[in-house]
């Protein structure tokens, strides 16, 4: 076999090897992205249930406010509870839309940024649910009791007790929000803040991030060899 024939054979072999590597890389990418979709599926389900629950609770509160529209106590207290439920439900809807529309066809780094954004908003939703719950737990309990029994529970509670609960709740909410903005909700998340956000984001998003990190490592290792 002459030298030109050897060169042609080597070129054909190299082209076949490149195609094989490209196919293997594409298959690995598809497998890992399928794992990401499977990992995110329970998260989508839970956000759907949370949004449905939020809408149901919001409709109950709005109905009670409408039944006592002439009473300022209900307008202020139950109206504020309705606004709180509306914000939490909207955050759940945002998370649901972002997780459903996760672009698995784009670059891995772009997908990772989307998942990190979902994690951060998930943390913010939990933060507002917990801190806002300190303010809203008493009105929520009274409204729920009234919805179940028909008793005007909110009207029977002493106003000073409602005000004290509101003042304490707002103080906790304000302090928690300031601390969160200072130590967690920053563009440059530190290791401790990142671990906290990861822990609160749930197993589904952590699993999706792990699969994406594995794919990113593979692509970094493969790129210099081409």
pLDDT of residue 226: 47
Looking at residue 224, the DSSP 8-state letter turns out to be: G
CA 118 – CA 40 distance, rounded (Å): 11
Question: Residue 69: helix, strand or coil by DSSP?
Answer: coil
Query: How many C-beta atoms surround the C-beta of residue 95 within 10 A?
Result: 24
Low-confidence ranges of the chain (pLDDT < 50): 22, 224-226
pLDDT of residue 49: 93
pLDDT of residue 225: 47
CA 120 – CA 194 distance, rounded (Å): 9
Report which of 88, 92, 87 is spatially closest to residue 44, judged by C-alpha positions: 92
pTM greater than 0.85: no
Query: How many C-beta atoms surround the C-beta of residue 89 within 10 A?
Result: 20
Parse the chain into domains and list their residue ranges.
Answer: 33-225
Tokens at residue 13, please?
Answer: 């072999």
Tokens at residue 56, please?
Answer: 């149901």
Calculate the alpha carbon distances from 103 to 36, 69, 97, 98, 165 in Å: 11, 45, 12, 9, 44
């Amino acid at each position: 076999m002459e030298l030109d024939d050897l060169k042609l054979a080597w070129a054909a072999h190299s082209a076949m090897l490149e195609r094989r590597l490209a196919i293997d890389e594409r298959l690995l990418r598809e497998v890992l992205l399928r794992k990401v979709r499977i990992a995110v599926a329970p998260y989508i389900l839970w956000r759907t249930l949370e949004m449905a629950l939020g809408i149901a609770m919001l409709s109950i509160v709005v109905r009670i406010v409408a039944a006592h529209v002439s009473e300022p106590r209900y307008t202020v207290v139950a109206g504020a509870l309705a606004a709180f439920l509306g914000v939490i439900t909207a955050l759940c809807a945002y998370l649901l839309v972002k997780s459903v529309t996760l672009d698995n066809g784009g670059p891995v780094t772009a997908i990772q940024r989307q998942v990190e954004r979902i994690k951060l908003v998930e943390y913010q939703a939990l933060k507002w649910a917990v801190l806002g719950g300190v303010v809203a737990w008493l009105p929520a309990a009274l409204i729920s009791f009234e919805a179940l029994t028909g008793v005007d529970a909110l009207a029977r509670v002493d106003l000073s007790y409602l005000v004290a609960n509101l003042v304490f709740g707002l103080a906790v909410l304000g302090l928690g929000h300031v601390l969160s903005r200072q130590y967690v909700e920053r563009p440059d998340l530190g290791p401790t803040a990142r671990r906290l956000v990861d822990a609160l984001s749930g197993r589904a998003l952590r699993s999706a991030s792990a699969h994406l990190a594995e794919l990113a490592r593979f692509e970094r290792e493969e790129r210099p060899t081409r």
